[in-house]
Amino acid sequence: MTELSDETIQEFRAALIENRKVLTTAIEGETESSKIVELDQSTMGRLSRMDALQGQAMIKETKQRHEEGLRKISSALSRIESDDYGYCLRCDELISVARLEVDPAVSLCIRCASLEEQV
Ligand SMILES: [Zn+2]
């Protein structure tokens, strides 16, 4: 497998920055929505409160997933800065470009990732 060219890395970097923007905006919205639910709780009936709590739990879950995504993006961007980008964090092998194209924030090669899933 060949190493990533600077050009390819810059493309992934741009995609990561774009994804980071999208996630940051989404998290801001989710933070707002969970605040609104908290404020309204005292004035709600029991059923709508349950609905609201369920909705809030869902928003919280989505927000956590987005925050996790943001962490992955930040670490991918810092790996670009330190010239470690594109290498598997576990075995140091090159991660395939096809895999990075699906998700530029991946930090494991396909082999290590599938090992991790089995655990
Ligand atoms: Zn690996």
Separation of CA 118 and ligand 1 centre (Å): 14
pLDDT digits (tens, 9 = 90+) for 16-52: 999 999 999 999 999 998 887 665 666 678 788 888 8
Ligand 1 mean position to 113 CA, how many Å?
Answer: 7
Q: 77-100: string of b/e by CB count within 10 Å (b at 16+)?
A: bebbeeeebbbbeeeeeebeeebb
Distance 20 CA to ligand 1 centre (A): 24
Phi, psi of 38 (to 5 degrees): -60, -45
More confidently predicted of 11 and 55? 11
Output the CA 15–ligand 1 centroid distance in Å.
22
**Which segments of the chain does DSSP mark as H helices, in order?**
6-40, 46-81, 97-102, 110-118
At residue 15, does pLDDT exceed 90?
yes
**pLDDT value of residue 41:** 60
**Above 60 in pLDDT, residue 113?**
yes
| Residue the block writes with tokens 């962490």 | 71
Which CA distances in Å does 42 have to 48, 55, 84, 99? Answer: 11, 16, 51, 48
Task: State the average pLDDT for the chain.
Answer: 91
99, amino acid identity:
R
**Does residue 118 register a pLDDT over 90?**
no
**Ligand 1 center from residue 57 Cα (angstroms):** 34
